[in-house]
Amino acid sequence: IFTKNLATILAQPTQQTIDLLTAARKYRYQPNMTHLVSKLKDTIVYLFTDPQLPPLLHSLWQLIIQTVEPVRPNRSFPRYKRVHRRRFPMHYKSTR
C-alpha cells in the first residue's frame, strides 16, 4: 500500500505535462502505474537515503512521462475476469 501511495504522489505532478504532450491524440492519457511501481521497487531505498534527491526525482518523472497509457471511455466490450483454479495457491505476484 505504501509503494502504491508513493507512486501516486510521484505521478501526480506529471499529469499536466502528459496532458500537454498528448493533447493532439484521440484519448486522454495517464501514467502507467504498474510500470512505475515496478521501477519504484528498485529505487525506493534511494528516495529515503540518497542525499542527491533532485536528480533521482527528475529521472523518475521522465520515466513517468514516457510510459503512459490511454484512458478509453465508454468501452463497448467489458473485460471479463475469468477465475482459473490453480494447483497451488500463488501468494507472490511479480510485477516484472
Domain-wise residue ranges, the chain: 2-71
**Treating both helix axes as pointing N-terminal to C-terminal, what angle do 53-66 and 2-11 enclose, rounded to 10 degrees?**
80
The reported pLDDT for the residue numbered 18 is: 92
Residue position matching grid coordinates 513517468:
64
Q: Tell me if 61 sits within 8 A of 14, measured CB to CB.
A: yes
pLDDT number for residue 29: 92
Higher per-residue confidence, 73 vs 95: 73
- 4-56 pLDDT, tens digit per residue, is 898 999 899 999 999 999 899 998 999 999 999 998 888 888 888 888 888 88
pLDDT in tens, 78-87: 777 787 776 6
pTM, whole model, 2 decimals? Answer: 0.69
